[in-house]
Amino acid sequence: MKTELIKIHSPLAINISNLQNKIMQAQASTKLMLMLPSEKTDLATQIWAIAKMKLSLRSENQNEDMAQIVILTDDLELFGNLTKDEIMIGLKMGLNGEFLNKDQQVFFNSSNFVQWIRKYIERKQVELAELAKLPKMETIKPVPSDQELKMMAINNANGHADLMVKMGKDFKWIAGGLYQLYDYLVKFGLYECPELDKNRIKLKNYIPSLSEIELDATYKSAYYKEFIQSMVNMDVRFDQNGQLF
């Protein structure tokens, strides 16, 4: 399939600061909301390992490490619109004390990590605003082909089903953006929730305080969860062509 090309405007490279360049490159990777739960756990593990090495921290035992990783995994759910690379930029800036006053000492915990990432977002907005003022030039950037997006949908569905089996009763839905994953299943003809099931799920998940857009996302997330559960119950997975076997 021919890869679609889109025109974007990017500032002249000679005027870009090192941080601005890092932010632009980091934004090109996959957003957290589209990552598998296991991938987020891996990222949380990497974050904890870097923090320990940078600050010469020691864990009392393996249970302490696991608890810290679980907490950090939950923290990552707050930043679904960021990418893994952006999280790492914010982490390193925080560990280097870039968000502290001169007389403050770097201390790592869940609360500080969340604050660092929020401060990174603020800094990112400032840097991107500065970039917008620079002279522009047209460049061509490839976007994912339909085949690539279809494979992503297949891999995410299989990955969620495998993780549900592996974790059993301990499995919890913590990934954001599940409604988008459902949309991809429908788009590529992989699965669409039957109307009767949709009506049942809507009645079960209706929340009066939500807007129509929020309700639509809630329903689609529920369709996706129920489909993954059915894959587990029937012990089926998608093959590379998108057929269940």
pLDDT at 115: 94
* Closest of 156, 155, 176 to residue 220, by C-alpha: 176
- Please give the angle made by the CA atoms of 184, 189 and 195, to the nearest 5 degrees: 90
Look up the pTM and report it: 0.53
* Closest of 106, 71, 76 to residue 175, by C-alpha: 76
pLDDT at 139: 52
Reported residue count of the chain is 245
Strand 5-11 to strand 136-142: parallel, antiparallel, or no bridges (unpaired)?
antiparallel
* Closest of 96, 98, 94, 97 to residue 114, by C-alpha: 94
Note whether 152 and 34 are within 8 A (CB): yes
CA distance 172 to 166: 12
pLDDT tens series, the chain, 245 aa: 444 444 444 444 446 788 888 898 898 888 898 888 888 999 999 999 999 999 988 776 788 889 999 999 999 999 988 999 999 999 999 999 999 887 789 999 999 999 999 999 999 999 888 887 776 655 555 677 888 899 999 999 999 999 899 888 888 887 567 898 999 999 999 999 999 999 999 999 999 888 898 899 999 999 999 999 999 999 999 999 999 99
